[in-house]
Structure 1
Amino acid sequence: MASRTASKDIIALRGSAAIVSEFFGYAANSILYNRAVYPGESFAKVKKYGLTMPLTQDEWVNFITSATSKNSEWLGAGKLQGIVMVIMSKATSEVIERWNFNIDTYPEVVEKGSIKEKSDKKIMREIRAIKRQIDSCITDLPCLDEPCVFDMLAYTDTDVDAPDTWIESDTKLIHNTQMVKLHSFDTKVHKVDTVVSYKKNEDDTSSSSSSVIREARIELLEAELGRFVMLANESAEEMYTRLKKIIKKIRSYGSKKWTDHEVVKIMLRAYFLRNSVLCFMIRDSPNYEKMTPEVVLGRFIRHEMMENEGLLEAELGRFVMLADESAEEMYTRLKKIINKLRSYGSKRWTDHEVVKIMLRAYFLRNSVLCFLIRQSPNYEKMTPEVVLSKFIDHETLLEEAKYVDIMSKSVTASKNQDIALKANKKQKGKCVFEESTSEDNEDSSSLDEEKIALIKSFKKIMKSRNYKSNKKNDKE
């Protein structure tokens, strides 16, 4: 915890500086958490001083860490007289609260380098008392009804070298202030006194009127809890987030009634219509009284995942290929369902199971191709992408065959029309027939060219599909 000599009861300047600066870091986190300056979700719970302490992991933790490190340096040099945490209105920068940590350094320790004796247990006991008092005094402070930010001030000797991140500032005092003095702790090297000052509410004529307003707000929120239900199409997680916001507000007003167990009761009541059996099972659990809201939420989420998994598997059981749907579109639709199931942790839907569904869906489109795929030696190892490529090849070949068929019919129709025209000309007379002979030859030549072009096109298509010609038939 701090640099010490051989005995745990002996403490020097440097060790005391480490204790005080570390205390300030945890105290700052505790104040920001209790005053709800930042969301409770941004704090983790850690064990320190024999207590559960909130500790943030957000980006502004670097600001506190940096300040704590610099404070430790100044404390070690005996040049820090006090640290102040200021809570201000985010909109107007008006100072609402000042948490003042006054620090007295024993002069003989700095001047002579002497060491003092005090046990760890006594120091920890004094720090715990301050932490508990910070938590309890929240009920005496006005509610923060607007978004707030914080800043830190350090009172140092004039000859210290301040880093660029620190600038000279005014004292940020509060006008029309009220004060609450908290406990102090003493390491025998540094003594820390804590005082919180806050802006007196001008609308309140006395502390009793402030208490009445606070109670009225609590009653309104409790009435909201009494009507709390789970909304349609709302997930368990969304429901809990909504509930947690109300509970957090009530606790910020100092209400001690709404323990974790009371929150669990509200959660079960709200979720009862969604799954009454699950709620009964939770209530009958041996450790029901000790269950936290997070544990109950976890059970709700697991139930919803299982329910969604069942619905998706039923959808797979009914999965068919839609009319006018391509193989690629069918596979995209199937893949979305499979990905959802796998996201729930299902291990059942392997690639081979997906291939089975694809073949079943495509069977009415081309049963022969599906049979051929199933009879393939490596069928068991085929991936959905390989099967999809076979479907796409089939669809492409089918489109090309249709194109060739249309072209062939077009040529045949043109030839029949030409023959009919010649017959009509013969009936009209020999002279006319002879005059049209050259034109007929040109039409016939044009028709032959179209046939040749069609045959070449068809050969190219067959070649692109890796079909080999029969040499024997070609010779014949």
Structure 2
Amino acid sequence: MSVSTQNAITLKGSAAIIVEYLNYGINSILFQRGIYPPEQFTSVQQYGLTILMSKDDKIKVFLQKVLDQVQEWLARNEVEKVSMVITNVHTKEVLECWDFKVLNETSFGPKMDPDNPTSSKELKKIQAEIRDVMRQIAATISYLPLIEQICTFDVLIHTLKNSEVPEQWNETAEVRIQNAQTVQLKSFSTGLHKMSTIVNYKMTD
């Protein structure tokens, strides 16, 4: 059965879907983990869910800049994972690290054109898979340790070694959490990229 390219997802389209998920996912984590006061968030409807998004212009500009670059690298299959790191403002200790791992699926597809890979997976099905992950993110508050310290967050992008890095970006070391516990959330796939979400957190003493 042939699939018309009109309905196919391209690498750029797949990158856009993943970046959209990252934007909603990171905002949801910021709200669920209480990194900023609840009055700084506004509710939006996406994936058939109500998601809380930051109203803070600085956060919106920061995420836009980071995610635009992620999208560019994803479209070239140069991203291995994106990490959202939550850090104690005073001690600089990392309390949580959310890893969004990317698996390039373009080499696995049967009869996939290596120069122009496409996926025929329905957007509705992809969004249903993302909805399940977003529900899990919202449910993490029931088992992750309460964050009582004043915290900040950062986003790290793990790229291939030969990726071209913009001048204003800094290289950084791998994040480590002492006595870390790990929870694997559900994954979703666009047919070109598979994204797994994992949270690593510090056990309270």
TM-score by length of 1: 0.40
Give the gaps of 5 or more residues in structure 2: none
Once the two structures are superposed, residues 200-239 of structure 1 have per-residue CA deviations (whole angstroms, 9 ceiling, x without a partner) of 122xxxxxxxxxxxxxxxxxxxxxxxxxxxxxxxxxxxxx
Q: Does the 8 Å CA contact 2:117/2:192 hold for their aligned counterparts? A: no
Q: What amino acid sits opposite 1:168 in the alignment?
A: E
SS at structure 2 position matched to 1:112? coil
Q: What amino acid sits opposite 1:36 in the alignment?
A: G
- Seen in structure 2, the aligned counterparts of structure 1 residues 124 and 161 have a Cα distance that, compared at 3 Å, is same
Q: Which residue of 1 aligns with 2:153?
A: 150
Once the two structures are superposed, residues 314-343 of structure 1 have per-residue CA deviations (whole angstroms, 9 ceiling, x without a partner) of xxxxxxxxxxxxxxxxxxxxxxxxxxxxxx
Deviation for aligned residue 1:159: 1.6
CA distance in 2, matches of 1:54, 1:65: 16
How many residues are aligned here?
A: 197
Larger radius of gyration: 1
Once the two structures are superposed, residues 63-113 of structure 1 have per-residue CA deviations (whole angstroms, 9 ceiling, x without a partner) of 111111110000001101100000000001100001000000124368332
Q: Does the 8 Å CA contact 1:85/1:151 hold for their aligned counterparts? A: yes
Q: Does the 8 Å CA contact 2:106/2:193 hold for their aligned counterparts? A: no
Deviation for aligned residue 1:55: 1.3
SS at structure 1 position matched to 2:53? strand
CA distance in 1, matches of 2:101, 2:43: 27
Q: Which has the higher contact order (CA 8 A, sep 6+)?
A: 2
Kindly indicate which of the two structures has a greater share of residues assigned to helix: 1
Deviation for aligned residue 1:116: 1.6
Q: Which residue of 1 aligns with 2:60?
A: 61
CA distance in 2, matches of 1:81, 1:110: 22
Q: What amino acid sits opposite 1:6 in the alignment?
A: Q
Q: What amino acid sits opposite 2:126 in the alignment?
A: I
Q: Which residue of 2 aligns with 1:76?
A: 75
Q: Which residue of 2 aligns with 1:114?
A: 117
Q: Which residue of 2 aligns with 1:340?
A: none
Once the two structures are superposed, residues 22-77 of structure 1 have per-residue CA deviations (whole angstroms, 9 ceiling, x without a partner) of 11011000000100101111111111111111111212211111111110000001
Deviation for aligned residue 1:5: 4.4
Q: Which residue of 2 aligns with 1:49?
A: 47
Give the gaps of 5 or more residues in structure 1: 203-476
Question: 4+ residue stretches of structure 1 with deviation over 6 A?
Answer: none
Q: What amino acid sits opposite 1:80 in the alignment?
A: V
CA distance in 2, matches of 1:54, 1:81: 27
Alignment of 1:412-423 (within 5 A): none
Indicate the RMSD between aligned Cα atoms, in angstroms: 1.5
Kindly indicate which of the two structures has a greater share of residues assigned to strand: 2
Q: Does the 8 Å CA contact 2:106/2:117 hold for their aligned counterparts? A: no
CA distance in 1, matches of 2:168, 2:62: 10
- Seen in structure 2, the aligned counterparts of structure 1 residues 13 and 94 have a Cα distance that, compared at 3 Å, is same
Q: Which residue of 2 aligns with 1:352?
A: none
Alignment of 1:170-319 (within 5 A): 170-202=173-205
Q: Which residue of 2 aligns with 1:88?
A: 87
Task: State the percentage of identical aligned residues.
Answer: 37
